[in-house]
């Protein structure tokens, strides 16, 4: 062992340019490199401060380095990290109890990401239908503009062709229909369908909420045909809409629900929730993952769930969401050359760009970043805001002020 070399590799200077030299170029990260954060405050390598209205794409919902989570994770790190699935552990049992008590579900499967949670859901749907009805019932129906992850199965189910191009041959028996189109759903959901998957609020596809009538019709069509209704709540779940899960606000209960992102507040974890009957289709040996349900991730998620699933916390999310929505509506009215309608739910909000500015969401994001505001885009025509759920009124007002300076700078350019 060379102690000097160890010190060098762990502390040597790195810059944004290092990314281009040693990472697979799947991303085009911002020019600044964040080094430290607390709550919604973040600092880059130069010490510049940013107000974070992204929470890492709706992940750090309790803010960065939340003290309760830091304490829980540190305690667990000194207790037990990993076992493998030949053993269970106390945190995973407590998390499964808490999630099943809080939702429609009776059973939980844990994994490490949203894509894996959806992969498990799609495999469950195929396996259940195969066992109960036969191999002909294998079709999966999903919506255009949906996003369900980046594994080959989940990009194939996802409704954006740009993510599957070049990766063929793709998994078979997957059809896409227009989101919120009841007639298209009626035409597509027949007896050969094993699952219908939908995001109650489409995130990546442009922050588009489902109509309640649409979700009710999907429920009815699934009941009629024996297909499983899968809600992908990886982005819109865990308090983001002001309900613990979005399905609760809609009053439409799925057969399978997937969660990730905010479930771990930045510590990787995904979950698939389902009923006792359906869970039985995935018997011993049918599915699994090395890290799924490990004590570190489940300890964090348990504390996240306990913090978010409180009436006062969720009521405040609705209040802050209404405040941010009103702020963005006023902003759009004041800057009609850039912005038009506001849509979304709770603290997952999108602003559609004005026709004259279509295709340039990234320009607004960059202008905001220059002023010290981190925000998201959802495609080229929508800017997206997903601040931590603990965002204060003062932080919403500050984001508004920074956005106005940013838009003024774009207007002057
Ligand atoms: C982010 C996202 C996923 C994929 O989650 P990963 O953790 O990136 O695999 C799936 N579905 C939805 C709705 C998402 O927003």
| pTM of the predicted protein model | 0.97
CA 235 to ligand 1 center in whole angstroms: 7
Count of CB atoms situated within 10 Å of the CB of 262: 30
Distance between first and last Cα of the chain = 55
**How many angstroms separate the CA atoms of 378 and 231, rounded?**
20
With a cut of 80, say whether residue 4 has pLDDT above it.
no
The mean pLDDT value for 252-268 works out to 98
**Which atom of ligand 1 is the closest one to the Cα of 150?**
9
Report the separation in Å between the CA atom of 340 and the middle of ligand 1, taken as the mean of its atom positions: 27
What confidence score (pLDDT) does residue 290 get?
A: 97
Q: Indicate the top mutation candidate among 145, 234, 272 to test ligand 1's pocket, ranked by most ligand atoms within 8 A of CB.
A: 234
Query: What integer pLDDT is reported at residue 7 of this predicted model?
Result: 66
The answer to whether the CB of 52 falls within 8 A of the CB of 399 is no
| Model confidence band, residue 342 (pLDDT cutoffs 50, 70, 90) | very high
Q: Ligand 1: distance of its center to the CA of 401 in Å?
A: 31
pLDDT of residue 5: 55
pLDDT digits (tens, 9 = 90+) for 350-372: 999 999 999 999 999 999 999 99
Q: pLDDT at position 413, please?
A: 87
Percent of the chain with pLDDT strictly greater than 90: 98
Q: What integer pLDDT is reported at residue 1 of this predicted model? A: 46
CA of 150 to the centre of ligand 1 (A): 8
Q: For 11-58, what is each residue's pLDDT tens digit?
A: 999 999 999 999 999 999 999 999 999 999 999 999 999 999 999 999
Over 50: is that where the pLDDT of 112 sits? yes
Cα–chain center distance at 91: 23
CA distance 338 to 164: 31
CA of 335 to the centre of ligand 1 (A): 32
| Omega prior to 351 cis, within 30 of 0 | no
Contact 102, 205 (CB under 8 A): no
* CA 154 to ligand 1: nearest atom: 10
- For the stretch 116-165, pLDDT in tens is 999 999 999 999 999 999 999 999 999 999 999 999 999 999 999 999 99
Taking the CA of residue 149 as reference, the ligand 1 atom at the shortest distance is: 4
pLDDT tens digit sequence for 391-413: 999 999 999 999 999 999 999 98
How would you class 94 by CB atoms within 10 Å of its CB: exposed for 0-12, middle for 13-18, buried for 19 or more?
middle
Ligand 1 pocket test: pick from 145, 149, 204, 344 the residue with the most ligand atoms within 8 Å of its Cβ: 149
Query: Would you state the pLDDT for residue 8?
Result: 87
Pocket of ligand 1 (CB under 6 A): 113-115, 118, 147-149, 199, 203-204, 232, 234-235, 260-261
Q: In the prediction, which pLDDT does 378 show?
A: 97
Tokens of 408: 């003024």
Task: Return the best residue to mutate from 55, 112, 115, 240 for the ligand 1 pocket (most ligand atoms within 8 A of CB).
Answer: 115
Lookup result for tokens 């997903």: 386
Give the pLDDT confidence score for residue 29 in this predicted structure. 96
User: How far is ligand 1, taken at its centre, from the CA of residue 126, in Å?
Assistant: 20
Residue 3 has pLDDT above 60, yes or no: no
The backbone torsions φ and ψ at residue 379, rounded to the nearest 5 degrees and listed phi first, read: 80, -170
The share of the chain scoring above pLDDT 70, in percent, equals: 98
Go through the domains of the chain in sequence order and give each one's CATH number: 16-65+311-412 (3.90.1150.10), 68-308 (3.40.640.10)
Give the residue whose CA is nearest to atom 11 of ligand 1: 148
* Distance (Å, whole) CA 177 – CA 157: 11
């Amino acid at each position: 062992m060379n102690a000097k070399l160890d010190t060098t590799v762990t502390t040597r200077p790195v810059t944004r340019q290092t990314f281009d030299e040693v990472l697979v170029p799947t991303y085009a990260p911002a020019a600044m490199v964040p080094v430290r954060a607390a709550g919604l405050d973040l600092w880059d390598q130069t010490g510049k401060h940013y107000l974070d209205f992204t929470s890492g794409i709706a992940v750090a919902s309790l803010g960065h380095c939340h003290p309760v989570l830091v304490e829980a994770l540190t305690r667990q790190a000194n207790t037990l990290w990993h076992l493998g699935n030949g053993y269970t552990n106390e945190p995973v049992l407590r998390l499964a109890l808490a999630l099943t008590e809080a939702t429609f579900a009776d059973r939980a499967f844990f994994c490490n990401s949203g894509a894996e949670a959806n992969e498990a859901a799609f495999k469950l749907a195929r396996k259940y239908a195969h066992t109960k009805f036969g191999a002909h019932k294998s079709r999966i129906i999903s919506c255009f503009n949906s996003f369900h992850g980046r594994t080959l199965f989940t990009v194939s189910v996802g409704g954006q062709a740009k993510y599957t191009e070049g990766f063929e041959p793709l998994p078979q028996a997957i059809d896409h229909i227009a989101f919120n189109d009841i007639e298209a759903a009626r035409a597509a959901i027949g007896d050969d369908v094993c699952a219908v998957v939908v995001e109650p609020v489409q995130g990546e596809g442009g922050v588009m909420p489902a109509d309640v009538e649409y979700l009710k019709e999907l429920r009815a069509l699934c009941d009629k045909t024996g297909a499983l209704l899968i809600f992908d709540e990886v982005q819109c779940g865990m308090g983001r809409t002001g309900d613990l899960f979005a399905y609760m606000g809609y009053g439409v209960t799925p057969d399978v629900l997937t969660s990730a992102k905010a479930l771990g507040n930045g510590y990787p974890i995904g979950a698939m929730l389902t009923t006792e009957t359906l869970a039985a289709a995935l018997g011993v040996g049918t599915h699994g993952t090395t890290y799924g349900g490990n004590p570190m991730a489940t300890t964090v998620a348990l504390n996240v769930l306990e913090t978010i699933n409180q009436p006062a916390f969720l009521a405040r999310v609705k209040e802050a969401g209404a405040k941010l929505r009103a702020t963005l509506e006023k902003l759009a009215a004041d800057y009609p050359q850039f912005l038009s309608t506001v849509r979304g739910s709770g603290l997952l909000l999108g602003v559609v760009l004005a026709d004259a500015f279509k295709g340039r969401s990234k320009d607004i994001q960059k202008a905001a970043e220059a002023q010290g505001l981190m925000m998201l885009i959802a495609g080229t025509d929508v800017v997206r805001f997903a601040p931590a759920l603990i965002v204060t009124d003062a932080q919403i007002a500050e984001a508004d002020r920074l956005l106005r300076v940013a838009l003024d700078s774009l207007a002057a350019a």
